[in-house]
Amino acid sequence: MSGAETFVPTPMMLSDSARKRLQALIAEEGKPGLKLRVYVTGGGCSGFQYGFDFAEDVADDDALIEFDDVALVVDELSYQYLVGSTVDYEEGLAGARFLVQNPNATTTCGCGASFMV
């Protein structure tokens, strides 16, 4: 007898460093309702690339992922590529940036800004 397995995808996560930076950026803007929009577009050296923007509004088909005092917004198309990912923030010699640690990516470019599934 065979049975179907159920699978519940891990929602997106937000690292402590990304949360702290997001809190600081929201405070600088003076708009407590701002959310970090994370999206995927075609392009980049590996096929897809990550993008980040601020969002005040959430569309009906957006996923809203809340973390106490901050939130991520992901459009329906991008979410399928980002399920299980962690949004992180790093500062280094090359500058400061948000980045995605994506377990769904089979290949990534050297800088981590683009990926392939």
Distances (CA, A) of 13 to 45, 61, 67, 71: 25, 19, 9, 10
Query: Environment class of residue 13 by beta-carbon count within 10 Å: exposed (0-12), middle (13-18) or buried (19+)?
Result: middle
CA distance 54 to 98: 12
Q: Which pTM value belongs to this model? A: 0.81
Question: Over the stretch 56-104, which tens digit does the pLDDT of each residue have?
Answer: 999 999 999 999 899 999 999 999 999 999 999 999 887 899 999 988 8
* The length of the chain, given as a count of residues: 117
First to last CA, the chain: 33
